[in-house]
Amino acid sequence: MEMPSRASMPYVVDKLREAIEEDWSEYGFLVCSTDDEHLVVRFELSTLDSEPGLVAYMNMFARSNATVNKLMLRKVVEDWNVTPGDGHLYFTFRPPWVAARMTDTFYALHPEQQIFQDPRLKRSHGGNTQQHSQSDAQKLAAAAFAATKSACGSDTAASGGALRPDLM
């Protein structure tokens, strides 16, 4: 197969699901694409015997699995091994047609370094732009993560795979 493209998203989702299912079929998981065309593998925390074991497996899977390598998928560091409090553990892959901006990764991992250009913020008397507090930055990062992951609805969990309607 040549380099995967947007048109091959259904194939990529199916192959990734099949590869994970070989070792994790007895656990509740879902593979789906997101609105920003990333691939998310979502595991139900309640079905896992060992969360650290799954994390170790997924790290090795991302580095050395033949399917991941063939499909040219890359681990999205800022969205890897994330538990947003919804009872699931998320692992995100970036397909080759999605451009990665290094600043996105840096600011997702270090939101306190981001200067937000929010018109509600006023200039201080010294002329420096005020920054959101670290907790505000973390809230914004969490909201962005939640919006990205919203494409993985719970109604598709039974099939083990999901795809955006516009890619079908």
What is the pLDDT confidence band of residue 163, given thresholds at 50, 70 and 90? very low
pLDDT (tens digit per residue) in 83-96: 999 999 999 999 98
Q: How many domains does the structure of the chain reveal?
A: 1
Quote the mean pLDDT of the chain.
76
Please report how many Cα atoms fall inside a 13 Å half-sphere around the Cα of residue 81, on the Cβ side.
14
Q: Does residue 96 lie within any of the structural domains?
A: yes
What CA–CA distance (Å, rounded) separates 76 from 116? 23
Q: Does residue 129 lie within any of the structural domains?
A: no
Range of the domain at 46: 6-100+151-167
Q: Does residue 29 lie within any of the structural domains?
A: yes
Q: Does residue 90 lie within any of the structural domains?
A: yes
pTM: 0.64
